[in-house]
Every structure is written in C-alpha cells, then in structure tokens.
Amino acid sequence: MMDLKYLVIEGNTGAGKTTLAQMISKDYKAHLILEQFADNPFLPKPDLLVYLHQTPENLIQKIKKRGRTCEKYFSIQYLKEIETGCFKFFKQIYNFPVLLIDMNNIDFVTDRNHYRKITNLIFREKHIPGMKKILQ
C-alpha cells in the first residue's frame, strides 16, 4: 500500500470530491482538510493529486439534482472553462503525480466495488510525477 502523507482530491463542481475525501478519511482514519483550490497549502507538492473527471453534461445533471442555490446558474460552458483551466495546470506539473480518473460511469457512493477500485488506484498503485489518465 502506498504511503501518502498528502493526498489532494480535485475535480470540477459536482464531481464528488468532498464525498470521496470524506469516505477515504473515514475508512483510512486520515485527517480531512476541506479547502478551496487556491487556498490549499498541500496543492504545491502533494504525494498524489487525484482529479475526478466527468463531462460537463454529466456534472450539470448532478448539480441540478443536488439543487444548491449558488450553483443554480452554472452552465456547461462554465464547467468546460474550469475543466480547460485544470487540464492546462496539470500538463505543466512534473514534480508530483496527477492521477486523472474518468468518473463518467462510476458511482462510488452506491457501489462499493467502484469505491474499492478508486481506492486501489490511489493506494495500491505506484505513482510517478506527471499526469496519468485512468479510463474506467
């Protein structure tokens, strides 16, 4: 099992970052710090950055379903712009590993096998600096 001191979980709005972080924190008895992207002190050099990727179309459906007022006017174009910015940032990273997981057909909240698959990718794989895509 990988010894990760600082694990960062990122993704677009509605991708499942907080839910996954809370589940991992509980199951692995890890300290959970929920912060915004720009204010995250661990982002400059985490042991692993995991990016939960979903298409903007899927994200819009999830955002509408959860019904948060502050997200009411989010558009597919807005989510695409966030995604583009994240991918530009990741392409410039060479000093720590970035694991990009395609979450479009993953439901780790209701399917424990999906959750195990994600945690195995995070904790049982050897990660090298740079971006690695995992298509599910």
Give me the pLDDT at residue 76, please: 95
Does a structural domain hold residue 58? yes
Cβ atoms 1, 39 nearer than 8 A = no
Does a structural domain hold residue 129? yes
Does a structural domain hold residue 1? no
Give me the pLDDT at residue 47, please: 93
Does a structural domain hold residue 75? yes
Does a structural domain hold residue 90? yes
Does a structural domain hold residue 39? no
Sign of CA dihedral 118, 121, 124, 127: negative
Does a structural domain hold residue 2? no
Sign of CA dihedral 33, 136, 115, 124: negative
Between CA 52 and CA 131 the distance in angstroms is 13
Does a structural domain hold residue 59? yes
**Count of domains forming the chain:** 1
Give me the pLDDT at residue 108, please: 95
For the record, the structure tokens of 120 come out as: 């195995």
pLDDT per residue as tens digits for the range 61-114: 999 988 888 888 899 999 999 999 999 988 888 899 999 999 999 999 999 999
Domain residues for the domain of 74 are 7-33+44-134
Between CA 65 and CA 27 the distance in angstroms is 27
Q: Please check the confidence at residue 42 and state whether its pLDDT lies above 70.
A: no
pLDDT per residue as tens digits for the range 1-36: 668 999 999 999 999 999 999 999 999 999 998 876
Structure letter (DSSP) for residue 49? E
CATH number at residue 74: 3.40.50
Give me the pLDDT at residue 3, please: 81
Q: H/E element holding 77?
A: helix 76-91
Q: Which amino acid is at 70?
A: C
